[in-house]
Amino acid sequence: MIVIFRSMVPATLFVASLVAANSSSRNAAVELPPVPSPAAATVSQESRPLVDGAPDPALERRIQNSTLGRLLLSESKDADLLQWNSLIPSTIPEWIELLDGGTDSVSGLLIPFSMAPQFTSLESPRIVLTAPEGSPERGRLFVGVPGEDADVEFISWNADRLAFDFGTIETREGMRRVSFANEASCFACHRTRSPIFPEASWDNTALNRSVLAAFVEHHAEQDRPGFKQLDQKLQTMVDRDEQARVQTPPALENFIDNQLVSDESVSTATFKGFPFVDADAMQAFDFNQAIFDAHSLVVSADWLQTLPNQADAARIANDGETDRINDHPFHYESLATLKSPYLVNFNMPSGKVNTAGSLTDVIPTQDHVRAIRDYDSAAKAKGEHVLPDQHRPTYSGAFLFNHVPWDDYLTDEVLRRTFRQSDPAYEPRASASVPGQAHHISHDTLCSSCHNGEQRSPAPDFSSFNPLIEDNWTRLLEANPKEGRELLNDVLRRVRSTSAPMPPADSDAARSFEVFRPTSTLMLQTLVERYEVEKALEEIQQGLSGEE
């Protein structure tokens, strides 16, 4: 498996994220340019499928098979996580202990500027935590903990569903409970149904040294214990860094990253129990790799579940016959989860598009620190972080096409993590029948592959019949030519419609579908034309036979 950003040095990697935020310029009257922001799952507040009262067996099974539930229930198997309880962690140290897997470490980020539901700032940042390298839950659980006593958001791998659960841990008067989200609203941003993967560094976190200095300065002004001494050190480091860069040759030992690493009192500083400085950026490297590990779970499961030959899928997943992967070299082209996990990133002070090596735009200076303080004041006055539409993760143009080779997601290592011995065995999907098996499908079945009735506005699932995979149509048309043509024409008409498109233009699913609509529409049109020609030839042949 490759490591993303392997060409970047520690000083250039500021890490991965889940949602998006923005910034403002040095002048308080002018907004800083937008930047994306890591955060945990975005949750629809309209649809929380949990109510006090009789337990829901489906939800109980879901929480028991979710990574979050399994970790919590290992402490108390009789606990009801769907009802108010005191078992779920409430502090950063408690979450770190749950996630570290015996490694005595954690991967995470302190995020002052986030687009998560709870407003964040230098005063009350969000902290995103995930399991570090070596933990058995690596890549399987991400939690976004707010600065104050508020709901915690999570993205948790479910080994039974072979998908991530998105949701919140609600907090009320010291008690907590798990609540699953309406995932359609989450997938409007989380297009790969996993944590959002970044193209370049995330500069709205404490890994941006200017944001770090602004964060420490703010808390020093609030007389928070230990922050005044820390602020004095950082101010001196920023000044030394500025002077070091104008020398000929530059005094590398005085660059701020080298100063941070050499001062243990700074590198071991904590905020609410979280070591937020990450002096050598190794925590950032690990967090970044954890995001890739999470994405590989989704892609590998998606590849197997949509494989037309489900007998091969079961052999690959359950028996480790990975040589069969090479028998299906083009199947990855149908995977929506693979197409665009990268969100374009912007530097906070300069607004220039960030690329590997462009961190000269976020070199910590007193001017950059002041610009961030000004933005923080403006955002608090408004009560929100405003991001232009073209940079929001709901806009397909804000994403870059995935440049990671598809087979990097289907290595022996990835499959061992996707299907662990303690997980349920992979069960072949009934819809992906072997060639020659009878294949019957109705309009209702086709529609219910998306609209499964379990959610108000469900995102595409295609668990029974994926209309975006040509092989599915080929089998259907061979088994039921007349019914297949009717369905094919209906789907194409709905996809191309402007008055009643499929999915509806204003739905959350439509935003995700935009990624693969052009190639899907072309594929459907080609199939329609092919079978219309064949139908015409059949009619001509029948006519000639009748004349004889």
Q: pLDDT tens for residues 232-261?
A: 999 999 999 999 999 999 999 999 989 999
Q: Percent helix, strand and coil across the chain, each rounded to 5?
A: 45, 10, 45
What is the number of residues in the chain? 548
Give the total number of structural domains in the chain.
2
Token pair 């019957």 is found at 440
Do 280 and 398 lie in a common domain?
yes
More confident residue, 45 or 390: 390
What's the token pair of residue 496? 């191309």
Do 177 and 73 lie in a common domain?
yes
Provide the CB-side half-sphere exposure for 328 (13 A, CA).
24
Nearest to 128 by CA among 19, 3, 285, 219: 19
Do 452 and 409 lie in a common domain?
no
Nearest to 472 by CA among 525, 433, 530, 428: 433
Among the candidates 427, 461, 479, a domain finishes at 427
Instruction: Please write the tens of the pLDDT for every residue from 406-435.
Output: 889 999 999 988 998 888 899 988 654 333
Decide: 184 and 508 in contact? Cβ < 8 Å.
Answer: yes
Domain that holds residue 485: 430-548
Do 398 and 435 lie in a common domain?
no
Among the candidates 427, 450, 467, a domain finishes at 427
What does the pLDDT read at residue 397? 72
Do 390 and 466 lie in a common domain?
no
Least confident interval from 327-341, 385-399, 447-461: 447-461
Do 222 and 296 lie in a common domain?
yes
Do 363 and 294 lie in a common domain?
yes
Among the candidates 427, 459, 482, a domain finishes at 427
pTM above 0.85, yes or no: no
Do 322 and 447 lie in a common domain?
no
Nearest to 262 by CA among 277, 274, 276, 249: 277
Do 363 and 463 lie in a common domain?
no
Do 351 and 434 lie in a common domain?
no
Do 16 and 132 lie in a common domain?
yes
Instruction: Please write the tens of the pLDDT for every residue from 14-64.
Output: 223 333 333 333 233 223 233 333 333 333 333 333 344 566 788 888 998
The DSSP bridge partners found for residue 274 are 271
Do 464 and 410 lie in a common domain?
no
Instruction: Please write the tens of the pLDDT for every residue from 185-231.
Output: 787 778 788 887 665 566 778 888 888 999 999 999 999 999 999 99
More confident residue, 250 or 518: 250
